[in-house]
């Protein structure tokens, strides 16, 4: 049954009467299983305590342009809320949804710059979520606003990724820090393999772009576990927690709940990123070698080859980043040396190989350098395979007997059942989480 549309005057009175507020749905980090942030979801709470569905007033506010006024007023409320949450978790990251209309005006960046400058919040405390459709008509002011937000250190997240609006052109121009996979796609993973492929492809694309992934609409332990194993970075959904009023969110954070976690998915993604570098090197060398063997080819034809974003320094590789951070928990000093040295040599050889192919160099030299490159890569793969095996064994080891035999897998239902989502639960259906 369609929502009853509420008159614009009623919406305006509710805004200025203080009836609009935020509910917060926690985001869980797959790396440590802790609450890493939350999404601020707009709610209309009448004086009698009943909540009005967002679907009954936000579409009108968007079409009329009143949404920009709502954003400006509620941004102040959001900053007040973040200040309260920071008392319990100083590094909290709260995602705030803005519309395309908000980006057309410079006020959004100016307000946030003021709040950050006054040190009421840190730029790391807030993220801006924007739907794919907001970029269908990206003008100079939109791009200027986004650039200013990024310059401040504020993360830009593409919301509802996978709904069909985004294009590679948009992804290549907007400085996103994360892709948020649409909740409908995430839910349908359990019934349709195509949706699973979309989720996996989204994680792969984000990894290649060097950005994170967030999955929304996680409503089962099975979906959570799959995303954990796939290398997704964060998740939100009813299985972990419904959207909560501010006081309930701070109470939940204070209790320090935890959900299943593992670095295995991150390691897998880092390994695939390493293999992607190897593939790009081989593709480039092959294309360059073919050009040098063609008598009709110009010496500088390599400049016309597609840009692959090759960055040869090892520290730019996700595998090296993993080795130098959370990966240290997964291997011995001997493993570290066996992995670090050949990995550095592989990248060094890869850079020399590209330069030699561009020169151009004799085919025999190219073949010899390619073989050396592959030997270093195989040495890395051997050590990583060993670490993956250890990680699997560790992840599948049952908890000690003195722990809760249920483990953490039921923590989501335990914590969300103890904190009531309030009278808005009727509107927090899976279809209206955002």
The CATH homologous superfamily to which domain 8-244+419-432 belongs is EAL domain (3.20.20.450)
| Partners of residue 127 on adjacent β-strands | 95, 155
Where do the CATH 3.20.20.450 domains begin and end in the chain?
Answer: 8-244+419-432
Residue-level pLDDT at 358: 83
Structural contact between residues 20 and 42, judged by C-beta atoms closer than 8 angstroms: yes
Which whole number is the average pLDDT over 29-50? 94
User: 191-227, pLDDT tens digit by residue?
Assistant: 889 999 999 999 988 988 889 999 999 999 999 999 9
The architecture that CATH gives domain 266-395 is Up-down Bundle (1.20)
Model confidence band, residue 100 (pLDDT cutoffs 50, 70, 90): confident
Tell me what the mean pLDDT of segment 3-29 comes to.
91
pTM score? 0.82
Q: What is the DSSP string of 253-298?
A: HHT-------SHHHHHHHHHHHHHHHHHHHHHHHHHHHHHH-TTS-
- CA 150 to each of CA 124, 157, 178, 349, 352: distance values in angstroms, whole numbers, following the listed order: 11, 11, 13, 35, 35
User: Is the predicted pLDDT of residue 431 greater than 50, yes or no?
Assistant: no
- In which residue ranges of the chain is CATH 1.20.120 found? 266-395
pLDDT tens column, 325-357? 777 777 777 877 888 899 999 999 999 999 898
């Amino acid at each position: 049954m369609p929502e009853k549309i509420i008159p614009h005057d009623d919406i305006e009175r509710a805004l200025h009467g203080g009836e609009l507020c935020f509910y917060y749905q926690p985001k869980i980090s797959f790396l440590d299983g802790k609450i890493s942030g939350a999404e601020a979801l707009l709610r209309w709470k009448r004086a009698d305590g009943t909540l009005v569905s967002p679907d009954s007033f936000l579409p009108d506010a968007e079409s009329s342009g009143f949404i920009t006024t709502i954003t400006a007023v509620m941004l102040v409320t959001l900053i007040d809320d973040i200040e309260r949450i920071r008392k319990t978790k100083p590094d909290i990251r709260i995602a705030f949804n803005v519309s395309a209309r908000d980006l057309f005006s410079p006020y959004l960046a100016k307000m946030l710059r003021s709040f950050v400058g006054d040190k009421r919040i840190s730029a790391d405390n807030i993220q801006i979520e924007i739907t794919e459709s907001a970029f269908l008509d990206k003008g100079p002011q939109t791009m200027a606003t986004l650039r200013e937000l990024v310059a401040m250190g504020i993360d830009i997240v593409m919301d509802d990724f996978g709904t069909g609006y985004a294009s590679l052109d948009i992804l290549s121009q907007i400085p996103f820090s994360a892709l948020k996979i649409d909740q409908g796609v995430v839910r349908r993973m359990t019934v349709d393999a195509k949706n699973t492929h979309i989720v996996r492809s989204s994680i792969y694309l984000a990894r290649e772009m060097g950005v994170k992934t967030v999955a929304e609409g996680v409503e089962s332990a099975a979906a959570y576990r799959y995303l954990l194993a796939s290398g997704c970075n964060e998740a939100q959904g009813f299985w972990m927690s419904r959207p909560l009023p501010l006081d309930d969110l701070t109470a939940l954070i204070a209790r320090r709940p935890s959900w299943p976690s593992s670095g295995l998915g991150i390691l897998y993604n880092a390994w695939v990123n390493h293999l992607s570098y190897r593939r790009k090197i081989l593709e480039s060398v092959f294309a360059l070698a073919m050009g040098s063997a063609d008598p009709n080819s110009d010496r500088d034809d390599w400049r016309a080859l597609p840009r692959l974003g090759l960055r040869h320094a090892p520290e730019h590789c996700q595998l090296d980043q993993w080795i130098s951070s959370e990966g240290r928990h997964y291997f011995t000093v001997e493993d570290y040396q066996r992995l670090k040295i050949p990995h550095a040599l592989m990248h060094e050889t890869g850079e020399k190989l590209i330069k030699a192919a561009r020169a151009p160099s004799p085919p025999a030299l190219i073949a010899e350098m390619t073989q050396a490159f592959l030997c270093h890569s195989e040495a890395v793969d051997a050590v990583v395979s060993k670490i993956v095996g250890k990680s699997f064994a560790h992840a599948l080891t049952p908890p000690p007997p003195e722990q809760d035999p249920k483990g953490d897998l039921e923590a989501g239902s335990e914590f969300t059942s103890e904190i009531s989502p309030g009278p808005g639960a009727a509107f927090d259906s899976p279809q209206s989480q955002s």
